Amino acid sequence: MKKLINSVDAIVTDTLRGVAAAHPSLRVDFENRVIYRRNAPHQGKVGLVSGGGAGHEPLHGGFVGYGMLDAACPGEVFTSPVPDQMIEASKGVDGGAGVLHIVKNYTGDVLNFEMAAELCADEGIEVASVLVNDDVAVQDSLYTAGRRGTGATLFVEKIAGALAETGAPLAEVARLAQEVNERSRSFGVALSAGTVPAAGKPTFDLSDTEIELGIGIHGEPGRTRTTHREAREIARLAMDAVNDDVPLSGDTLVLLNGMGGTPLLELYIMYGEVAAYLEEKGARAVRCLVGNYVTSLDMQGFSVSVCRLTDELTRLWDAPVETPGLRWAADRPHG
Amino acid sequence: MKKLINSVDAIVTDTLRGVAAAHPSLRVDFENRVIYRRNAPHQGKVGLVSGGGAGHEPLHGGFVGYGMLDAACPGEVFTSPVPDQMIEASKGVDGGAGVLHIVKNYTGDVLNFEMAAELCADEGIEVASVLVNDDVAVQDSLYTAGRRGTGATLFVEKIAGALAETGAPLAEVARLAQEVNERSRSFGVALSAGTVPAAGKPTFDLSDTEIELGIGIHGEPGRTRTTHREAREIARLAMDAVNDDVPLSGDTLVLLNGMGGTPLLELYIMYGEVAAYLEEKGARAVRCLVGNYVTSLDMQGFSVSVCRLTDELTRLWDAPVETPGLRWAADRPHG
Amino acid sequence: MDTSFFLAWIKEAASAVQAERDHLTQLDAAIGDADHGANLDRGFAAVRQTLADTPPQTPGGVLVQAGSALIRKVGGASGPLYGTAFRQMGRALGDAPEITPADLVTALEAAQEGVQKLGGAAEGDKTLVDAFAPAVRALAQAVRDGAKLEDALETATAAAQEGAQATVPLQARKGRASYLGPRSVGHEDPGAASTALIFAALRRAAGQA
Amino acid sequence: MDTSFFLAWIKEAASAVQAERDHLTQLDAAIGDADHGANLDRGFAAVRQTLADTPPQTPGGVLVQAGSALIRKVGGASGPLYGTAFRQMGRALGDAPEITPADLVTALEAAQEGVQKLGGAAEGDKTLVDAFAPAVRALAQAVRDGAKLEDALETATAAAQEGAQATVPLQARKGRASYLGPRSVGHEDPGAASTALIFAALRRAAGQA
Ligand SMILES: Nc1ncnc2c1ncn2[C@@H]1O[C@H](COP(=O)(O)OP(=O)(O)O)[C@@H](O)[C@H]1O
Ligand SMILES: Nc1ncnc2c1ncn2[C@@H]1O[C@H](COP(=O)(O)OP(=O)(O)O)[C@@H](O)[C@H]1O
Ligand SMILES: [Mg+2]
Ligand SMILES: [Mg+2]
Ligand SMILES: [Mg+2]
Ligand SMILES: [Mg+2]
């Protein structure tokens, strides 16, 4: 294993150091491991807090800023952060309007955020939580921990963040976050697994002719393995899984997401196939992102997330955002 | 080799299809393989054209838009485009104020752009060219093809693009582009080589304990191979090479660039080390980018580019830009 | 069993986790995300640190403090679960200075209940509960039967180890491994494996006392 | 040598490049960017296509059209260089319907001059010039000595092949390989290798005539 790190133990601290140096719009609390908007808390605005294991950058720290998160708590690589971080972050962003916890549905994240929310309540901070669980690769049944939260987390953070900037109350921001999650579905495919630094080798092995379908963002193996094939067919496998879950129609927001080790060139090829698939189903990608947004270290592969838009969601998606990982202005020059 | 492609021959076409589908602000001429700003040409504005082999995305196509390029010509993977493309692009962006060709210094790019410039002149289009050659890994002597153009290409495209939006004449835009290039230096390090699809295997092999210093963006091996070491020391090797060439001082713009296969996490770690190095030398990184901007397929590694700023360059760097790969507004919300 | 007995247990557990760190991580790589060993090792290192910095005066104090440190330092699923386990044990013991085997059983039963309430896992779901529950049952039975503490803990450890082994053929229904569906079959659950280590540490602490 | 002779040459060259595509690419992987085989193969396929679509009527026409197609389709360093070579040859031949060996020598000398003017490479810089220049010299000498065309081309091919082999110990001073400095030593230059293929194709065309 070769990584650009100083030591396995220093990964999170050193990353935070880089983030702090790179982004004067952020404030980094190294002691508590929280990344804040520089001027947090914002009076009267609902504070948005998310967090999760490191290794998914730019998620979540890269989405802290105007129009998105107020704070992010990075855990160790692929390990959910601890309640102390979330409590500290919630205190730091509460401008009197309460705090929304955006939690990806993993047992670890859920348990730690739950504990934090309880302790926040003890300290008089109003907290609402939204659970993101968009990954159709996992059966949502009594026999699993439920669906994983993956790409749709970005949708929830962006759209709920935009609503929070308008001064909407906590219950409304939480309801909308929930709605975005419900309207979103994702599916991921790996060509190779990433290497968790502490483990020192890829979390699973694939031969030169195999791909893994339905992977999550923690290097978990997927549900099935199949033979590698051309981009068009792989796109179809992924999109069929999404479409079988909720038939695609109307205007959609699409995230064609790289897992960290796949060139943008290939992501654009996949996006072309996904857009064609949507058209075939009578749906349209009216907004999209193509790139590395919700990654899994150096995993090679992609995930596709689709959110069925409403006018409100489109408007909030288009609202200005100013974070290291996502930024656009209200009136951007065109053409 | 596993890639998300339909076939090796269709890579560029399929990528263009994805780009066209993803970015309504762009217009793609599939026949001639040119990516334009949707409303090109812009009357009275100098047109900026760049191009180069595919495999470096978002360079160049991702930098077409307001405040940057007017058109980009993608060649085959790692192969410079052909004169026909550049001529077509130059015609398509000439708004009467002439066209600037931004050329990375590689024999192929230089020869093809030279041929194109000659033929443009025959057709009455005023063309100026700027050669980007920022890579200190290559000795600039009679015994080489000269220094390669790497990360500074982004600086040149952004800053010259911003000046062009002000209506500055061609000679001035070309002069400034030249100045940006002269003020910039870069150095790259690979942990592993990328795989050119047509070749089917990595362009060079590194063991689990070796890294390659002074690599370019085409999977060329570097000048030396050394043992892998911690991030801090690798940053020092790269920055020493830059600093030995032109001592670092004052305000700088830094690009901590991923080569395509390295997680953002590691790039932030490297940026932290680079920022510390600069401080040690009495210089400061007052502007920066951290991410995959000038890539080399799925190569693992990074490059660092430093531009010594002037007030004018800082102002133009901060000017609004609206492209798929780089965007910010004049008055962006802060904190 | 006094305060130093429980300090000895924690120390033994911490050493065992450190020694088996890579093994636990590799188990987690197979059906999870390859961090269980690193998580627990980080957590128990913090536990040792806090116990050294501010040594508690009662068995209950040791366990509550250890549990809090785990919650504070581990993260992941195992942090809140093991943290809750130790905290519940400690709370069940109150501030008693000396603990009987029957108290220990009660405390471990409280721990198990806390874990199951928090994580919602039943036996057979392929989690650490599959090692924890049989170990607690075996201990309770042995103590009821009047076995010597060391022997009772020997039995409990064996039950934990068997329980961990018995997770191999199961399909996971909780935690990250459940995402794999049928592909989770054929692998030992990492949390069950670490639970067995923790019971073995308890057995060793009794041997030293 | 008439139009069909030059068409045969192009066809032979295209086949050779296609057959050696991977070999050329692997040579380029060692000291370049692993595309030389793919580049030339794409170029010669386009040349074949254009010659089939609109067959030229003179040897010069064949070569100019071939060169233009290479410039239009190859890209990279080799596109403009080989394109210029063929175009200069074609222009040197004008619209003569029948070409003598001496004309061929003149045309190839013009080609070499065009390549060197464009690329600025001298012999010894480890480029295709290192195969091209000795081949042209050998051909000129053989023709001056009154050798049969086939034999003269045999000599030229051998000189190109030797020239290509002789690039192995050289350090590159032009093109992408020059970035490697001393590490470019020990590898055959891909462009020199493809030049040798093109001369061998010329020799085969003469054998068929
Ligand atoms: N709901 C649950 N109830 C009980 N134990 C669980 C539950 N979910 C996970 N576990 C245990 O946690 C272990 C994984 O811990 P760890 O790897 O540290 O956390 P994570 O899964 O967040 O990476 C599993 O092997 C399992 O024994
Ligand atoms: N300046 C030059 N003069 C002559 N030949 C050159 C020059 N630069 C490069 N070449 C030739 O071009 C070959 C590489 O061609 P190719 O791989 O197709 O282009 P690129 O280097 O742009 O990828 C080299 O092996 C060399 O023979
Ligand atoms: Mg984990
Ligand atoms: Mg090339
Ligand atoms: Mg785990
Ligand atoms: Mg090449």
Q: How do residues C190-203 score in pLDDT, each as one tens digit?
A: 999 999 999 999 99
- Which residues of chain B neighbour D77 with C-beta distances below 8 Å? 80, 106-108, 111
**D74 Cα nearest atom in ligand 2:** 18
Cα separation of D47 and D43, whole Å? Answer: 6
Is some CB atom of chain D closer than 8 A to the CB atom of B5? no
- Which residues of chain A neighbour C73 with C-beta distances below 8 Å? 82
Query: Closest partner residue to A198 among C25, C31, C179, by Cβ?
Result: C25
Chain C: nearest CA to A235, how far in angstroms?
A: 21
Tokens for A333? 């020059």
- Contact at CB, A54 and B265, closer than 8 angstroms: yes
Q: Identify the bridge partners of residue A132 per DSSP, sorted by sequence position.
A: A104
Q: Which residues touch A46 (CB under 8 Å, ≥6 apart)?
A: A95, A97, A98, A99, A100, A164, A168, A169, A170, A173
The answer, yes or no, to whether any atom of ligand 1 lies below 6 A from the CB of C76, is yes
Cα separation of C81 and C63, whole Å? Answer: 14
Helix (H) / strand (E) element for D80: namely: helix D78-93
Measured in Å, residue A192 CA sits from the centre of ligand 3 at 19
Pick the residue of A45, A232, A269, A270 with the most B CBs within 10 A to test the interface with B by mutation.
Answer: A269
Measured in Å, residue C73 CA sits from the centre of ligand 5 at 14
pLDDT in tens, C135-192: 999 999 999 999 999 999 999 999 999 999 999 999 999 999 998 888 999 999 999 9
Nearest-CA residue for atom 18 of ligand 1: C36
Q: Whole-prediction pTM value? A: 0.94
CA–CA distance from A6 to each of A261, B11, B234 (Å)? 20, 37, 10
- What structural domains does chain B harbor? 10-182 (3.40.50.10440), 184-309 (3.30.1180.20)
Query: Closest partner residue to A18 among B62, B211, B290, by Cβ?
Result: B290
CA–CA distance from A229 to each of A234, B1, B139, D59, D63 (Å)? 7, 12, 43, 46, 41
Nearest-CA residue for atom 2 of ligand 2: D119
Cα separation of C52 and C54, whole Å? Answer: 6
pLDDT in tens, D35-94: 999 999 999 999 999 999 999 999 999 999 999 999 999 999 999 999 999 999 999 999
Choose the residue to mutate in C127, C180, C197, C198 for probing ligand 1, maximizing ligand atoms within 8 Å of C-beta.
C127
Pairing status of strand B127-132 against strand B99-104: parallel
Cα separation of A209 and B323, whole Å? Answer: 36
What crossing angle do the helices spanning D190-208 and D129-144 adopt, rounded to 10°? 30
- Contact at CB, A77 and C179, closer than 8 angstroms: no
What is the interface pTM, i.e. ipTM, of the complex? 0.92
Mean pLDDT of the region B195-224: 89
- Contact at CB, A199 and C78, closer than 8 angstroms: no
Range D3-208 classified under CATH 1.10.760.10: no
Which protein residues touch ligand 2 with a CB less than 6 Å away? B 79-80, 107-108; D 28, 32-33, 35-36, 39, 76-78, 81, 119-121, 127-129, 174-176, 189-192
Tokens for A263? 């060139």
Count how many residues are written for chain B. Answer: 335
- pLDDT band of residue B332 (cuts 50, 70, 90) is low
B334 is annotated as an active-site residue: no
With a pLDDT cut of 90, the percent of chain B lying above it is 90
Pairing status of strand A99-104 against strand A127-132: parallel
Measured in Å, residue B134 CA sits from the centre of ligand 4 at 19
Measured in Å, residue C67 CA sits from the centre of ligand 4 at 60
pLDDT in tens, B13-65: 999 999 999 999 999 999 999 999 999 999 999 999 999 999 999 999 999 99
What pLDDT was estimated at residue A199? 84
Nearest-CA residue for atom 16 of ligand 2: D36
What pLDDT was estimated at residue A332? 58
pLDDT in tens, B22-32: 999 999 999 99
Q: By a Cβ cutoff of 8 Å, what residues of chain C touch chain A?
A: 25-26, 29, 31-35, 37-39, 42, 71-81, 118-119, 171, 173-176, 178-181, 183
Tokens for A133? 């669980």
- Which residues of chain A neighbour B15 with C-beta distances below 8 Å? 265, 268-269, 272
Name the residue of chain A whose CA is nearest to B300's CA. A261
Q: Map residue A125 onto helix, strand or coil.
A: coil
What pLDDT was estimated at residue A222? 81
What pLDDT was estimated at residue B331? 64
Is B51 within 8 Å of B82 (Cβ atoms)?
Answer: no
CA–CA distance from C178 to each of A137, A145, A203, C117, C182 (Å)? 12, 6, 16, 18, 9
Pairing status of strand A321-322 against strand B283-291: unpaired
